[in-house]
Chain A
Amino acid sequence: MKILFYGRLADAIGPELEVPAPPGSSVGDLRNNLTASHPEIVGVLRSRRALTCVGDRLVHDDYRLTDTDTLEFLPPVSGG
Protein backbone atom coordinates (compact mmCIF):
# COMPACT_ATOMS: atom_id res chain seq x y z
CA MET A 1 0.00 0.00 0.00
CA LYS A 2 0.95 3.63 -0.45
CA ILE A 3 1.81 6.13 2.30
CA LEU A 4 2.02 9.87 1.61
CA PHE A 5 3.96 12.28 3.81
CA TYR A 6 3.83 16.05 4.15
CA GLY A 7 5.96 18.81 5.62
CA ARG A 8 8.91 17.73 7.72
CA LEU A 9 7.89 14.08 7.37
CA ALA A 10 8.25 14.34 3.59
CA ASP A 11 11.70 15.85 4.13
CA ALA A 12 12.76 12.95 6.32
CA ILE A 13 11.12 10.00 4.56
CA GLY A 14 10.16 11.27 1.11
CA PRO A 15 6.75 12.32 -0.17
CA GLU A 16 5.63 8.76 -0.93
CA LEU A 17 6.43 5.26 0.25
CA GLU A 18 5.15 1.90 -0.93
CA VAL A 19 5.00 -0.63 1.90
CA PRO A 20 3.52 -4.09 2.37
CA ALA A 21 0.44 -4.07 4.58
CA PRO A 22 -0.32 -7.60 5.76
CA PRO A 23 -4.04 -8.32 6.17
CA GLY A 24 -5.32 -6.83 9.40
CA SER A 25 -2.59 -4.19 9.66
CA SER A 26 -3.62 -1.07 11.53
CA VAL A 27 -2.46 2.53 11.29
CA GLY A 28 -0.75 1.95 14.62
CA ASP A 29 1.19 -1.01 13.18
CA LEU A 30 2.47 1.12 10.31
CA ARG A 31 3.33 3.94 12.71
CA ASN A 32 5.39 1.48 14.75
CA ASN A 33 7.18 0.27 11.63
CA LEU A 34 7.95 3.82 10.57
CA THR A 35 9.27 4.84 13.98
CA ALA A 36 11.55 1.77 13.89
CA SER A 37 12.89 2.61 10.44
CA HIS A 38 13.07 6.39 11.01
CA PRO A 39 13.94 6.91 14.66
CA GLU A 40 15.21 10.42 13.90
CA ILE A 41 11.64 11.66 13.51
CA VAL A 42 9.87 9.57 16.12
CA GLY A 43 8.78 12.79 17.85
CA VAL A 44 6.84 13.92 14.79
CA LEU A 45 5.44 10.48 13.96
CA ARG A 46 4.12 10.13 17.51
CA SER A 47 3.14 13.77 18.10
CA ARG A 48 -0.37 14.06 19.47
CA ARG A 49 -0.81 16.89 16.99
CA ALA A 50 0.12 14.78 13.97
CA LEU A 51 -2.82 13.46 11.95
CA THR A 52 -3.40 10.33 9.88
CA CYS A 53 -5.92 10.17 7.04
CA VAL A 54 -7.33 7.64 4.61
CA GLY A 55 -9.47 8.91 1.75
CA ASP A 56 -9.22 12.45 3.12
CA ARG A 57 -10.82 11.38 6.41
CA LEU A 58 -9.10 11.34 9.77
CA VAL A 59 -8.33 7.86 11.07
CA HIS A 60 -6.82 6.69 14.33
CA ASP A 61 -4.31 3.99 15.22
CA ASP A 62 -6.97 1.28 15.46
CA TYR A 63 -8.08 1.79 11.84
CA ARG A 64 -7.58 -1.41 9.81
CA LEU A 65 -5.98 -0.80 6.43
CA THR A 66 -6.62 -2.57 3.17
CA ASP A 67 -4.07 -2.99 0.42
CA THR A 68 -5.84 -0.39 -1.74
CA ASP A 69 -5.85 2.31 0.96
CA THR A 70 -3.55 5.31 0.73
CA LEU A 71 -2.51 6.41 4.20
CA GLU A 72 -1.45 10.01 4.73
CA PHE A 73 0.74 11.20 7.60
CA LEU A 74 0.33 14.89 8.38
CA PRO A 75 2.77 16.52 10.80
CA PRO A 76 1.49 19.33 13.07
CA VAL A 77 -0.10 22.06 10.96
CA SER A 78 0.50 25.79 11.06
CA GLY A 79 -1.44 28.48 9.22
CA GLY A 80 -1.67 32.23 9.60
Chain B
Amino acid sequence: MSVVAQLEESALDPARELATLLARAEGDGAFVSFTGVARPGSKGGQTVYRLVLEHHSVLTARSLEQIALDAAARFDVSHVHVVHRVGDISAGEPIVFVGTASLHRRAAFEAADYLMDRLKTEAVFWKREIGDAGSSWVEPTAADYADRERWG
Protein backbone atom coordinates (compact mmCIF):
# COMPACT_ATOMS: atom_id res chain seq x y z
CA MET B 1 0.00 0.00 0.00
CA SER B 2 1.23 3.46 -0.80
CA VAL B 3 -0.54 6.78 -0.53
CA VAL B 4 0.89 9.81 -2.31
CA ALA B 5 -0.68 13.24 -1.78
CA GLN B 6 1.48 15.97 -3.24
CA LEU B 7 1.28 19.67 -3.98
CA GLU B 8 3.04 20.68 -7.17
CA GLU B 9 4.20 24.23 -7.77
CA SER B 10 5.52 23.67 -11.30
CA ALA B 11 4.14 21.83 -14.34
CA LEU B 12 2.33 18.59 -13.63
CA ASP B 13 3.13 15.72 -16.03
CA PRO B 14 0.31 13.13 -15.94
CA ALA B 15 2.32 10.59 -17.99
CA ARG B 16 5.16 10.74 -15.50
CA GLU B 17 2.79 10.36 -12.55
CA LEU B 18 1.06 7.37 -14.16
CA ALA B 19 4.43 5.78 -14.92
CA THR B 20 5.39 6.19 -11.27
CA LEU B 21 2.16 4.57 -10.16
CA LEU B 22 2.50 1.68 -12.64
CA ALA B 23 6.04 0.97 -11.46
CA ARG B 24 5.08 1.15 -7.79
CA ALA B 25 2.00 -1.05 -8.12
CA GLU B 26 3.55 -3.85 -10.12
CA GLY B 27 1.46 -6.98 -9.67
CA ASP B 28 -1.89 -5.19 -9.56
CA GLY B 29 -4.42 -5.84 -12.29
CA ALA B 30 -6.19 -2.49 -12.58
CA PHE B 31 -5.00 1.08 -12.88
CA VAL B 32 -7.27 4.10 -13.22
CA SER B 33 -6.03 7.62 -13.80
CA PHE B 34 -7.82 10.94 -14.09
CA THR B 35 -6.30 14.22 -15.20
CA GLY B 36 -8.13 17.51 -14.68
CA VAL B 37 -7.12 20.24 -17.13
CA ALA B 38 -7.71 24.00 -16.97
CA ARG B 39 -10.47 24.78 -19.48
CA PRO B 40 -10.00 27.67 -21.93
CA GLY B 41 -13.57 28.85 -21.37
CA SER B 42 -15.71 29.88 -18.41
CA LYS B 43 -19.17 28.52 -17.65
CA GLY B 44 -20.50 31.70 -19.23
CA GLY B 45 -18.63 30.97 -22.45
CA GLN B 46 -15.92 33.61 -22.09
CA THR B 47 -12.26 32.98 -22.80
CA VAL B 48 -10.15 31.99 -19.79
CA TYR B 49 -6.39 32.52 -20.06
CA ARG B 50 -5.32 30.99 -16.80
CA LEU B 51 -6.33 29.87 -13.35
CA VAL B 52 -4.74 30.90 -10.09
CA LEU B 53 -5.01 28.29 -7.37
CA GLU B 54 -4.38 29.83 -3.96
CA HIS B 55 -3.72 27.54 -1.03
CA HIS B 56 -3.14 27.49 2.72
CA SER B 57 0.34 26.82 4.07
CA VAL B 58 -0.82 23.96 6.32
CA LEU B 59 -4.45 23.07 5.68
CA THR B 60 -4.15 22.41 1.95
CA ALA B 61 -1.58 19.62 2.25
CA ARG B 62 -3.48 18.22 5.21
CA SER B 63 -6.73 18.11 3.24
CA LEU B 64 -5.08 16.30 0.33
CA GLU B 65 -3.52 13.74 2.66
CA GLN B 66 -6.78 13.12 4.48
CA ILE B 67 -8.77 12.64 1.28
CA ALA B 68 -6.14 10.25 -0.12
CA LEU B 69 -5.98 8.28 3.14
CA ASP B 70 -9.78 8.06 3.29
CA ALA B 71 -9.88 6.64 -0.24
CA ALA B 72 -7.20 4.09 0.63
CA ALA B 73 -9.15 3.01 3.72
CA ARG B 74 -12.54 2.89 2.04
CA PHE B 75 -11.76 0.98 -1.16
CA ASP B 76 -9.87 -2.21 -1.83
CA VAL B 77 -7.01 -0.40 -3.53
CA SER B 78 -3.29 -0.97 -3.14
CA HIS B 79 -2.14 2.48 -4.21
CA VAL B 80 -3.55 6.00 -4.22
CA HIS B 81 -1.66 8.76 -6.01
CA VAL B 82 -2.82 12.38 -5.92
CA VAL B 83 -0.88 15.36 -7.28
CA HIS B 84 -2.47 18.81 -7.27
CA ARG B 85 -1.12 22.01 -8.79
CA VAL B 86 -0.98 25.32 -6.97
CA GLY B 87 -0.22 28.76 -8.37
CA ASP B 88 -0.67 29.95 -11.95
CA ILE B 89 -2.00 27.38 -14.43
CA SER B 90 -2.47 28.30 -18.08
CA ALA B 91 -5.51 27.08 -19.96
CA GLY B 92 -4.81 23.59 -21.27
CA GLU B 93 -2.41 22.69 -18.47
CA PRO B 94 -3.15 19.87 -16.02
CA ILE B 95 -4.42 20.91 -12.58
CA VAL B 96 -4.82 17.57 -10.89
CA PHE B 97 -3.79 13.95 -11.35
CA VAL B 98 -5.50 11.11 -9.53
CA GLY B 99 -4.31 7.54 -9.94
CA THR B 100 -5.44 4.36 -8.25
CA ALA B 101 -4.36 0.74 -8.44
CA SER B 102 -6.06 -2.44 -7.32
CA LEU B 103 -6.23 -6.13 -8.06
CA HIS B 104 -9.55 -5.75 -9.89
CA ARG B 105 -11.01 -2.81 -11.77
CA ARG B 106 -14.08 -1.81 -9.71
CA ALA B 107 -12.20 -0.62 -6.64
CA ALA B 108 -9.79 1.44 -8.75
CA PHE B 109 -12.64 3.12 -10.67
CA GLU B 110 -14.63 3.87 -7.54
CA ALA B 111 -11.66 5.19 -5.58
CA ALA B 112 -10.71 7.57 -8.40
CA ASP B 113 -14.30 8.82 -8.65
CA TYR B 114 -14.48 9.30 -4.88
CA LEU B 115 -11.15 11.13 -4.79
CA MET B 116 -12.24 13.64 -7.42
CA ASP B 117 -15.61 14.29 -5.79
CA ARG B 118 -13.92 15.07 -2.51
CA LEU B 119 -11.08 17.08 -4.05
CA LYS B 120 -13.59 19.28 -5.89
CA THR B 121 -15.49 20.17 -2.74
CA GLU B 122 -13.13 19.70 0.23
CA ALA B 123 -9.52 20.21 -0.84
CA VAL B 124 -8.42 23.58 0.54
CA PHE B 125 -7.87 25.68 -2.57
CA TRP B 126 -9.35 28.91 -3.84
CA LYS B 127 -9.62 29.04 -7.60
CA ARG B 128 -9.60 32.24 -9.60
CA GLU B 129 -10.24 32.44 -13.34
CA ILE B 130 -8.45 35.15 -15.32
CA GLY B 131 -9.85 35.86 -18.76
CA ASP B 132 -11.76 38.18 -21.05
CA ALA B 133 -14.27 38.80 -18.29
CA GLY B 134 -11.53 39.86 -15.86
CA SER B 135 -10.95 37.91 -12.66
CA SER B 136 -13.58 35.82 -10.92
CA TRP B 137 -13.65 33.22 -8.16
CA VAL B 138 -14.84 29.73 -9.02
CA GLU B 139 -16.59 27.63 -6.40
CA PRO B 140 -18.06 24.12 -6.58
CA THR B 141 -21.44 23.84 -8.27
CA ALA B 142 -24.56 22.28 -6.77
CA ALA B 143 -23.80 19.25 -8.94
CA ASP B 144 -20.30 19.02 -7.43
CA TYR B 145 -21.75 19.03 -3.91
CA ALA B 146 -24.39 16.46 -4.93
CA ASP B 147 -21.65 14.24 -6.37
CA ARG B 148 -19.80 14.49 -3.07
CA GLU B 149 -22.92 13.54 -1.11
CA ARG B 150 -23.22 10.23 -3.01
CA TRP B 151 -20.45 8.87 -0.83
CA GLY B 152 -22.09 9.75 2.48
Contact = CB atoms under 8 A, between A and B. Distances in A.
Contacts of A74: 56, 59, 124
Contacts of A72: 56
Contacts, number: 58
B127 interface: yes
A80 B59 contact: no
Interface stretch (B40-48, B70-78, B114-122): B114-122
A79 B63 CA distance: 10
Interface in A43-80: 53, 56, 72, 74-80
Nearest to B98: A80
A78 B139 contact: yes
Given A6-B54, A56-B58, A77 B116 contact: no
B120 A8 contact: no
Contact of B126 (A53, A56, A78): A78
Given A8-B137, A53-B59, A77 B54 contact: no
A7 interface: yes
A78 B121 contact: yes
A78 B59 contact: no
Max count, chain A CB within 10 A of own CB: residue among B54, B56, B62, B127: B56
Interface in B81-115: 84, 95-96
A70 to B, nearest CB: 12
Nearest to B34: A80
B36 A77 contact: no
A56 B137 contact: no
Interface of B: 36, 53-54, 56, 58-59, 62-63, 84, 95-96, 116, 119-128, 137-140
Interface of A: 6-8, 11, 53, 56, 72, 74-80
Given A77-B63, A78-B126, A80-B96, 15 more contacts: A6-B126, A7-B128, A8-B126, A8-B137, A53-B59, A72-B56, A76-B139, A76-B140, A77-B121, A77-B125, A78-B120, A78-B127, A78-B138, A79-B120, A80-B95
